[in-house]
Amino acid sequence: MNYSEIMARDGADPQTRILEAARAEFAAYGLAGARIDRIAKNAQASKERLYAYYSDKQQLFLEVLEVNLREFASDAVLTAHDVPAFAGALFDHAVLHGDHLRMIDWARLETDGTWLPALEVMLGYRDEQVRRIRLAQEAGRVDAAWDPVQLMTLIFGIASAWMHEPGAVVPRGNPVAPAVVAARRANVVHAVERLIAPSAIGPIN
Amino acid sequence: MNYSEIMARDGADPQTRILEAARAEFAAYGLAGARIDRIAKNAQASKERLYAYYSDKQQLFLEVLEVNLREFASDAVLTAHDVPAFAGALFDHAVLHGDHLRMIDWARLETDGTWLPALEVMLGYRDEQVRRIRLAQEAGRVDAAWDPVQLMTLIFGIASAWMHEPGAVVPRGNPVAPAVVAARRANVVHAVERLIAPSAIGPIN
DNA sequence: CATACAAAACGAACTAGTTCGTTCGGTATG
DNA sequence: CATACCGAACGAACTAGTTCGTTTTGTATG
């Protein structure tokens, strides 16, 4: 029982219920695999209402994507120059809201770049984090040899490594043991600590 | 003009042409988005032949996936204890054969774990690389504090960070400049160098 | 070389099922 | 009454998979 299902069940606007049901549906099946009838049914709403609020399937998908990205951007932020902690927060968010990562993957795979309004959210978020990495470099907590954009992307890749791993299938079937998750998190944080350690080896380029 | 298109065009078995057309189709559109008619057309073959060789859409998808994974497994291998070079090879393969990465992502998102034969290929590959990482640790070239499986996954995440980055859309539209790719590669290799440096900070757990 | 034959392949039509998006009658609520 | 909503049905387009008659290709035989 996740947040979306709770929101979709009890007494909220039909529009909200539809959006929440669409979140679960699109995250699970993607744009091509999602079924409008299933969204309406799970939202306990009629298709007539769905199309009264959203023009078509793709627009609803983009709406869901943007909501997800906004939540993501407001959740995992770099604070107080603590870059390893930021990586840990990214990891936690990915574990807790795996749907957000899935939606990003769906969008990357299924769209031909026509999700600009949602992408803007993500780019703005990234630029802000990059800015803070730069501050951390000036404060001497991150090796100045790194290009901040490159480092940011690497941190993203590290934090989401376990979600993009080929064997990461059947997420609903068998949940990962908490102890295993904790070990992965520790390794992620530690990896970033090693990455940013000032003058560990030398300049990059 | 990639390898698949070349194979699919000139005089090869219809079965081979179909498989190669299916590779391009599934990598581009996934299982749900792929169109059987389009595969047959691009293979210059008939649907009757397609269903003579492959039982149904999903089986063809899994066939394509397995072929991709085998190529991947035979291409990017860890040799001579040189783990950073291995990361570079992974990155190169991801750049050159982006379709392989896309297929893995499609399979992870679109299947409910029923792609075991193909997954076995990947798990066997991973175990072999993990074994070699362990050897590199015994040789003192990789910090022994790392759990090899954890490290392997982190290296994967780092090497494919730029492909899984949210902004990595429209791959066919605007190709990335070679200089940019080279810079990313250098950063990937350097990141792994920092990761594995013996006793850089201390034990992990 | 010419004929006969079988397997492989093609092409086009067809079936059966799915799915998006629309429409419409009915109900409640303000 | 008007608005919001539901449930059910509808239509049109699409799609996986099948069928079937025809054509090509390879091979064996006389």
A103, A173: one domain = yes
Rounded CA–C1' distance between A48 and C22, in angstroms: 8
Per the CB < 8 Å rule, is B109 touching A102? yes
Q: How far is A45 from chain B (nearest CA, A)?
A: 26
Instruction: Name the band, by pLDDT with cuts 50, 70 and 90, for residue A4.
Output: very low
Q: Which of B54, B73, B89 is a domain's end point?
A: B54
| Count of domains for chain A | 2
pLDDT at residue B63 tops 50: yes
B172 CA: distance to closest CA in chain A (Å): 9
How many angstroms separate the CA of B133 from the C1' of D15?
47
Say whether both A68 and A137 belong to one domain.
Answer: yes
Residue with tokens 């951007």: A73
Neighbours of A63 (CB within 10 A): 20
- Identify whether residues B36 and B66 lie together within a single domain: no
Tally the C-alpha atoms within 13 A of residue B93's C-alpha that lie toward its C-beta.
23
pLDDT at B177: 86
Cα–Cα nearest to A171, from A104, A98, A66, A117:
A98
Show the tokens assigned to A6: 């709770």
Short-list B5, B93, B197, B66, CA closest to A202: B197
Residue B29 has pLDDT above 70, yes or no: yes
Whether residue A51 has pLDDT greater than 60: yes
A33 and A62 part of one domain = no
Question: What's the whole-number average pLDDT of chain B?
Answer: 87
Distance in angstroms, CA of B46 to C1' of C13?
A: 13
Q: Which of B126, B150, B195 faces A184 most closely, judged by CB atoms?
A: B150
Q: Which residue of A has its CA nearest to B145?
A: A187
The angle formed by the CA atoms of residues B195, B198 and B204, to the nearest 5 degrees, is: 65
Regarding whether B154 and B75 lie in a shared domain, the answer is yes
The pLDDT, as a whole number, for residue B112 is 79
**In this complex, do A113 and B170 lie within 8 Å of one another by their Cβ atoms?**
yes
Task: Give the model's confidence band at A183: pLDDT under 50 very low, under 70 low, under 90 confident, else very high.
Answer: very high
Co-location of B139 and B41 in the same domain: no
Q: What is the mean pLDDT of chain A?
A: 87
B172 pLDDT above the threshold of 60:
no
Please tell me the pTM assigned to this model.
Answer: 0.88
Whether residue A151 is found in the same domain as residue A173? yes
CATH number of the domain enclosing A68 = 1.10.357.10
Q: Among B37, B54, B71, which residue terminates a domain?
A: B54
pLDDT bracket for residue A11 (50, 70, 90): low
Q: What is the b/e burial string over A133-169, where b = at least 16 CB atoms within 10 angstroms of the residue's CB?
A: bbebbeeebbbebbebebbbbbbbbbbbbbbbbbebb
Q: Is it the case that residue B134 has pLDDT exceeding 90?
A: yes
Q: State the residue range of the domain holding A152.
A: 58-205
Annotate B151-178 with b (16+ C-beta within 10 A) or e (fewer).
bbbbbbbbbbbbbbbbebbebeeeeeee
State how far residue B100 is from chain A, nearest Cα, in angstroms: 11
Which residues in chain A are contacts of B27 at CB distance < 8 A?
Answer: none
In angstroms, the CA of A113 and the C1' of C10 are apart by: 38
Nucleotide nearest to A36 (CA to C1'): C20
Footprint of strand C on the protein (CB under 7 A): A 34-37, 46-48, 51, 56-58; B 13-15, 44-49, 52
Whether residue A48 sits in one domain with residue A65: no
Q: Is A80 found in the same domain as A7?
A: no
A-chain CB neighbours of B169 within 8 Å are: 107-108, 111-113, 115, 119
Q: Tally Cβ neighbours within 10 Å of residue B105.
A: 21
One domain for residues B101 and B182: yes
Q: Which CATH number do you get for residue A24? A: 1.10.10
Shared-domain flag, residues A40 and A64: no
B145 pLDDT above the threshold of 90: yes
> Which one-letter DSSP state was computed for residue A10?
S
Could you tell me which residues come within 8 angstroms of residue A51 by beta carbon, excluding any fewer than 6 positions away?
Answer: none
Using CA atoms, how far apart are residues A158 and B98, in angstroms rounded to an integer?
Answer: 19
Q: Is the pLDDT of residue A1 over 50?
A: no
Q: Is the dihedral of CA B6, B9, B12, B14 positive or negative?
A: positive
**Closest C-alpha to A126, from A103, A149, A93:** A149
Q: Nearest residue on chain B to A34, judged by CA atoms?
A: B32
Q: What percent of chain A stands above pLDDT 70?
A: 88
Residues B91, B25, single domain; the answer is no
Mutant choice from B187, B188, B199 vs A, greatest count of A C-beta within 10 A: B187
Question: Which amino acid is residue B38, in one-letter code?
Answer: R
Query: Mean pLDDT across the stretch A144-155?
Result: 95
Mean pLDDT of A180-196: 95
What are the pLDDT digits (tens) for A110-139?
Answer: 987 777 788 888 889 999 999 999 999 999
